[in-house]
C-alpha cells in the first residue's frame, strides 16, 4: 500500500492514456464539503480513496475503487438532486454524464409505434418514475408498471434530478 491522493492517481491515469482518460473534479459543494478527483475511461469511473474515511491529510494510504458510469451517474445526480441551487445540467455536462443526451431526461418525447417512433421509458438507475401524458391526462407512474402493449401513443418524460419536480415530490415518488 502506498501514500498518494486522488489527484495524483487521476493525473497518472491521464498521463498513461490521455486520449481515453477524462479527469473528473468534484468540488466541495457537490461532494459533502470535500474536493475529490476521479477519472473516466471506457464507461468506467475510477478513484483513489483513503482507507481512513476521516483522513484530512494531503497524502494517505488508500485503495482504488471502480464503478460503471451508470452507477456513478445515478450516485452523483441523486446526491445533487436535493440541492436546488445546483444546475444539474451543468454538472452533467462537466462530468460527461450520458443521461444528458438520452431521450426523456430533459424533454418530453413520445412513443407511437404506428409512426415507428419507438422511444419508450426504460428502467434505469436514476429514475423510478416517469411522467406520462395520454388520453387519461398527465400523471406520474412507476417505470416498472409500464408495458408497451398498453399504449398506442404516449408522451413521456422521466422524473429525474434534472426536473424541478424532483425536489417537490417525496422520496417514494422519485
Three-state SS at 143? helix
**pLDDT for position 85:** 83
pLDDT at 172 over 90: no
Give yes or no for residue 165 having a pLDDT over 70: yes
Kindly give, in sequence order, each residue whose CB lies less than 8 Å from that of residue 37, ignoring residues fewer than 6 positions away. 6, 7, 9, 10, 23, 24, 25, 26, 47
Return the domain boundaries, the chain. Answer: 3-98, 102-173
The pLDDT, as a whole number, for residue 122 is: 93
Asked if 132 contacts 148 with a C-beta cutoff of 8 angstroms, the reply is: no
User: At residue 166, does pLDDT exceed 80?
Assistant: no
Q: Which carries the bigger pLDDT value, residue 173 or residue 5? A: 5
pLDDT recorded at residue 173: 52
Q: What does the pLDDT average to over 129-151?
A: 90
Per-residue pLDDT, 171: 54
DSSP labels, the chain: --EE-HHHHHHHHHHH-TTT-EEEEE-GGGTTT--EEEEEETTEEEEEEESSTT--SSSEEEEEEEEEHHHHHHHHHHHHHT-TTS-HHHHHHHHT-GGGGSTTTSS-EEEEGGGTEE------SS-SEEEEEETTEEEEEEGGG--GGG-S-EEEEE--TTSGGGGTS-GGG-
User: Is 70 exceeded by the pLDDT of residue 134?
Assistant: yes
Asked if residue 69 has pLDDT above 60, the reply is: yes
Say whether pLDDT at 170 is over 50.
Answer: no
C-alpha closest to that of 158 among 128, 134, 133: 128
Residue 96's pLDDT is 85
- In this prediction the pTM is 0.78
Three cell numbers at 132?
406520462
Q: CB 112: neighbour CB atoms within 10 A?
A: 14
Q: What nine digits make up the cell of 82?
A: 436535493
Amino acid at each position: 500500500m502506498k501514500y498518494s491522493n486522488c489527484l495524483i492517481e487521476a493525473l497518472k491515469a491521464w498521463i498513461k492514456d490521455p486520449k481515453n482518460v477524462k479527469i473528473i473534479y468534484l468540488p466541495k459543494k457537490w461532494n459533502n464539503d470535500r474536493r475529490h478527483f476521479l477519472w473516466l475511461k471506457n464507461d468506467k469511473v475510477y478513484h483513489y480513496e483513503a482507507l481512513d474515511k476521516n483522513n484530512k491529510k494531503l497524502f494517505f494510504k488508500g485503495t482504488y475503487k471502480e464503478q460503471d458510469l451508470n452507477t456513478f451517474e445515478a450516485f452523483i445526480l441523486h446526491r445533487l438532486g436535493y440541492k436546488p441551487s445546483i444546475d444539474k445540467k451543468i454538472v452533467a455536462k462537466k462530468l460527461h454524464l450520458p443521461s444528458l443526451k438520452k431521450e426523456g431526461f430533459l424533454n418530453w418525447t413520445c412513443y407511437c409505434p404506428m409512426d415507428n417512433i419507438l422511444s419508450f421509458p426504460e428502467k434505469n438507475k436514476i429514475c423510478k418514475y416517469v411522467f406520462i401524458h395520454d388520453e387519461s391526462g398527465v400523471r406520474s407512474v412507476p417505470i416498472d408498471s409500464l408495458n408497451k402493449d398498453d399504449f398506442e401513443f404516449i408522451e413521456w418524460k422521466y422524473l429525474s434530478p434534472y426536473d424541478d419536480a424532483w425536489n417537490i415530490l417525496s422520496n417514494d415518488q422519485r
